[in-house]
């Protein structure tokens, strides 16, 4: 049965729980009762993220270790927890590891997924006269500072021959950005899915441009070095990543089923969840942490260093661990 779409403003409390950037500490913790044994793997998650996918795909069965889930509002606080050894491993987007590296955090990127960047967009109101990125010059644009959308905005402007100094950037977290966008206080909003799907499904805006072709479409699993040095935890992490990769593949062929689970888990309307799954979530594939990937992330780091949003030069290669690559395809492999 199709659910009735509710107004975008009513989606905000749920959408704020979802992945991206900015935010606070862990919202909740729970221990997976399916697991057995004395070892507990502390996993950082975001609402509607790894735990939900693993459970929906049946990949939390027959664990020989327990999982303690900590749910975060976004990537940066999750990586703060990894740095503090409160979390052994957790999933984030392509930009939080760069900022964590810039802050000197003790993290290691141990797994990568490549997907489309079509859900990373710059949105404009339906009645906007803007039709191409070049016309953003002098316009006000809302974006969350330090987020993947922040880099997508920078890259999209550069592709159009513009820079951040050519626009009036309003650094707003999603709650305030959505309110500013829908009330006409900003001309555009740089954002990610499911916010993109939220606005489109509510018919409150349209896409001016996407991150396709200008951002790398990567997401990561980052681990604490201390956990990787523990043989038992390192083995549990290997098993966890195998399960997560299988669950990600499961989504490709079970998009409606996954949308149902995601909607229930987050409170998002089914229509928004399904649109986001089709546009973004079902495209992800596991890929190797290789030199092209490191170079792509290095470009993001250098960009933010030049913008003085990162205090020092980052060598991203120092923040990766390739031990779990196995026979995964190159990071440049096309998304599903």
- One DSSP character per residue, 119-137 reads TSEEEE-TT----SGGGGT
With a pLDDT cut of 70, the percent of the chain lying above it is 90
pLDDT at position 283: 87
Round to whole Å and give the CA distance between 302 and 273: 34
Confidence label for 24 from pLDDT (cuts 50, 70 and 90)? very low
Q: What is the pLDDT of residue 25?
A: 47
Give all domains of the chain, ordered by start, each with its CATH number: 17-116+217-319 (3.40.190.10), 121-210 (3.40.190.10)
Beta bridge partners of 89: 43, 223
Question: If DSSP states are collapsed to H, E and C, what string results for 211-255?
Answer: CCCCCCCEEEEEECHHHHHCHHHHHHHHHHHHHHHHHHHHHHHCH
Alpha-carbon gap, residue 73 to 28, rounded angstroms: 10
For residue 43, the cross-strand partners are: 69, 89
Instruction: List all residues 6 or more positions away from 253 whose beta carbon is below 8 Å from its beta carbon.
Output: none
Distance CA 276, CA 278 (A): 5
pLDDT band at residue 30 under the 50/70/90 scheme? low
pLDDT tens, residue by residue, 157-169: 999 999 999 999 9
Asked whether 161 and 236 are in contact (CB, 8 A), the reply is no
pLDDT at residue 132 above 90?
yes
Rounded CA separation 138/169 (Å): 10
Q: Which residue has the higher pLDDT, 175 or 183?
A: 183
Token pair belonging to 317? 């290669």
Q: Is the model's pLDDT at 44 over the cut of 90?
A: yes
* Beta-bridge partner residues of 91: 221
- State yes or no: pLDDT of 208 exceeds 60: yes
pLDDT at site 34: 63
Q: Is the pLDDT of residue 293 over 90?
A: yes
Joined together, the tokens standing for residue 303 give 């960009």
- Is the model's pLDDT at 5 over the cut of 50? no
Q: CB of 156 within 8 A of CB of 208?
A: no
Structure confidence at residue 29 (pLDDT)? 63
Report the share of the chain in percent with pLDDT over 90.
68
Can you give the pTM of this predicted structure? 0.84
| 84 DSSP 8-state letter | T
Mean pLDDT in residue range 240-259:
94
User: What average pLDDT does the chain have?
Assistant: 88
């Amino acid at each position: 049965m199709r659910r009735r779409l509710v107004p975008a403003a009513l989606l905000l409390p749920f959408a704020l729980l979802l992945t991206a950037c900015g935010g606070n500490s862990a919202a909740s913790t729970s221990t997976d009762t399916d697991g057995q044994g004395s070892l507990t793997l502390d996993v950082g998650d975001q609402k509607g993220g790894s735990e939900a996918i693993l459970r929906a795909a049946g990949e939390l069965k027959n664990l020989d270790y327990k999982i303690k889930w900590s749910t975060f509002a976004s990537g940066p606080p999750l990586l703060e927890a990894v740095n503090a050894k409160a979390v052994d491993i957790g999933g984030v987007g392509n930009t939080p590891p760069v900022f964590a590296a810039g802050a000197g955090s003790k993290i290691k990127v141990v797994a990568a997924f490549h997907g489309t960047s079509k859900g990373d967009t710059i949105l404009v109101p339906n009645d906007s006269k803007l039709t191409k990125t070049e016309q953003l010059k002098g316009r006000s644009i809302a974006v969350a500072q330090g987020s993947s959308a922040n880099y997508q905005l920078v890259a999209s402007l550069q592709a159009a021959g513009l820079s951040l100094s050519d626009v009036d950037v309003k650094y707003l977290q999603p709650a305030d950005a959505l309110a500013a966008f829908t009330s006409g206080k900003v001309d555009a909003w740089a954002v990610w899915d499911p916010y993109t799907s939220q606005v489109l499904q509510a018919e409150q805006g349209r896409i001016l441009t996407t991150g396709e072709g200008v951002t790398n479409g990567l997401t990561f699993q980052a681990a604490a070095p201390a956990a990787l040095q523990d043989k038992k935890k390192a083995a549990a992490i290997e098993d966890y990543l195998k399960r997560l990769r299988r669950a990600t593949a499961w989504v490709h062929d079970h998009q409606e089923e996954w949308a149902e689970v995601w909607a229930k888990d987050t409170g998002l309307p089914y229509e928004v969840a399904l649109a986001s799954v089709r546009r973004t979530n079902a495209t992800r594939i596991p890929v190797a942490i290789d030199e092209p990937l490191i170079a792509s992330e290095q470009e993001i780091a250098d960009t933010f260093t030049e913008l003085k949003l990162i205090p020092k030069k980052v060598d991203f290669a120092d923040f990766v661990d390739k031990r779990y690559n196995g026979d995964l395809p190159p990071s440049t492999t096309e998304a599903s």
